[in-house]
Amino acid sequence: MVEESTPRSGMSSPEAKLGMRVEDLWDIQEPQLTPTEKLNACFESIPVSSFPPAALSQVIEINSDTSLAEAVQLLAQHKLLSAPVVDVEAPKDATWIDRYLGIVEFAGIVVWILHQSEKNDGSAGSELGMGGEETIGPAVAAAAAANGMSSPRYRSSIPFSVANTSGNFFEALTSSDYYKNTKVRDISGSFRWAPFLALQKSNSFLTMLLLLSNYRMKSVPVVDLGEGNIDNIITQSAVIHMLEECAGLQWFESWGDKKLSDLGLPLMKPNRVVKVFEDEPVLQAFKLMRQKGVGGVPVLESGGRKAVGNISIRDIQFFLIAPEMYKDYRSITAKNFLTSVRSYLEEHQEKSPLLSGMVTCTRDETLKEVILKLDSMKIHRIYVVDDVGNLEGVITLRDIISKLVHEPRGYFGDFFDGVLPLPANSRV
């Protein structure tokens, strides 16, 4: 990919126009400010309503009376990890807090299903590390709340046991009346004060960027208080795409031309990277994602350090949309999982990052080069390797955004009061 050091002719995309707005603000900042301080000031001056709307100029919403089976198909069809749930019983003039129940996720659906099955057979839930709320710490619970992850409101049991279905659990489940008839509202919870953490259109760009980085949110809904609707959903991926469209602008180049090593990336040391080996059960990968709070893990060659693949939380959808691939879902290895999913995607002629193999970089590459790779491949993480391909770390979208801005002392004030509920006796 050809690098650009000067602004593109035209720069007509909404993201590029937004970048030019930052450029204009950049030029008038006090000269004694550092580049990061300048960017903070620029982004604080731009309302979040200026961010380009989501694809199709609309937000995909799921009605509360939608079945789990239909919800999974909707998420897969629109290539979404999650979607807000609209309460069909809410009055037309309801505020956004009363209009939405929460957010339904691929991962949340599977976690809830396995939690129910654990009542009949404790092995499935325990294998995945899916304990109840009492088993997670307050910090994890707070992070889950910030991401719009809801605790189940109802806890009825699956009418058949994992033990009775052996390796065909997901195939039996997805063909069952239980799965087809259970509604999204049955697995959605609601917070004390709000269904999820949201921004108003008048909040600043800086607030949004900090929530997507320091506060580990994957996406931030922007609500229209007047209409009571979600006006936009800004994702980490959308921010990275905006940055890619700003290549060539002075403010971007002053930041993006720095090498990863100069920025302290990757943040995590190699021995602390959450990973699985290719001959380990694939459920170990999803177990680690849930336990460690990460969105994906690298797959390493057996007994070695070379990365041969990546498994994302997004890939858990294949248990539900193609359950026939996993006759023995407890023992299928990470390597065989990747092979099966690739075959499925090729057979159905679907585009996916899984078909592209491992996407890597080295510490000597610039942040701009990494942003271009992440955006062009539509992936959420890139693995840092040495000259012979040994894994040295991982860089996520959140890591990149966190290097763009910093949180001023006392910036959020009482922003979270009444919006982000914490568990009882929390020390967070």
Residue with token string 């693995």: 383
Q: pTM for the complete prediction?
A: 0.82
Same domain, 107 and 200: yes
Classify each residue of 367-406 as buried b or exposed e, where b means 16 or more C-beta atoms within 10 Å of its C-beta. Answer: bbbbbbbbbeeebbbbbbbeeebebbbbbbbbbbbbbbbb
Please indicate, yes or no, if residue 16 is contained in any of the structural domains. Answer: no
Residue 6 located in a structural domain:
no
Tell me whether residue 245 is in a domain: no
Q: Which of 237, 272, 307 is the last residue of a domain?
A: 237
State whether 80 and 220 are in the same domain: yes
C-alpha 228 chain-centroid distance: 25
297 in a structural domain: yes
Q: Distances in Å between the alpha carbon of 378 and those of 177, 238, 397, 402?
A: 35, 10, 11, 19
Does 371 lie in the same domain as 334? yes
Asked if 189 contacts 153 with a C-beta cutoff of 8 angstroms, the reply is: yes
The answer to whether residues 209 and 322 belong to one domain is no
- Quote the pLDDT of residue 260: 96
Residue 287 resides in a domain: yes
Q: Are residues 283 and 395 in the same domain?
A: yes
pLDDT at 290: 78
Please, which residues bridge with residue 311 across strands? 297
Token digits for 160? Answer: 């058949």
Q: What is the pLDDT along the chain (428 residues), one digit of tens a residue?
A: 434 444 444 567 999 999 999 999 999 998 888 888 999 999 999 999 999 987 644 678 999 999 988 998 888 888 888 889 999 999 988 888 889 988 888 777 767 766 665 554 544 444 444 333 333 333 333 333 333 333 333 333 444 443 343 456 777 778 888 888 889 888 765 444 457 888 999 999 999 999 999 988 888 899 988 888 898 999 999 999 999 999 999 999 999 999 999 999 999 888 899 999 999 998 889 888 878 888 899 999 998 899 999 998 888 888 888 877 776 666 789 999 999 888 888 888 777 776 777 889 999 999 999 999 999 998 999 999 999 989 999 999 999 999 999 999 889 887 776 554 444 433 32
For residue 419, give both structure tokens: 């919006």
> How many domains are there within the chain?
2
What per-residue confidence (pLDDT) applies to 303?
87
233 lies in the same domain as 276? no
Q: Is residue 358 part of a domain?
A: yes
Confirm whether 70 is domain-assigned: yes
Q: Which two tokens stand for residue 269?
A: 């040391």
Task: Tell whether 15 is covered by a domain.
Answer: no
Q: Which residues pair with 273 in a beta bridge?
A: none
CATH of the domain at 146: 3.10.580.10
- 270/207 same-domain check: no
272 with 339, same domain: the answer is yes
316 and 216 within one domain: no
Is residue 272 domain-shared with residue 232, that is, in the same domain? no
**Which residues, 6 or more positions from 327, have their beta carbon under 8 angstroms from its beta carbon?**
167, 168, 171
pLDDT at 189: 53
Residues 316 and 206 occupy one common structural domain: no
Owning domain of residue 381: 261-402
Cβ atoms 206, 44 nearer than 8 A: yes
Specify the length of the chain in residues: 428
Domain boundary among 205, 237, 269: 237
Indicate the pairing of strand 199-200 with strand 100-105: unpaired
Q: How far is it, in rounded angstroms, from Cα 266 to Cα 263?
A: 8
> Do residues 396 and 284 share a domain?
yes
Compute the distance between CA of residue 342 and CA of residue 174 in angstroms, rounded to an integer. 21
CA dist., res. 410 & res. 427, Å (int):
18
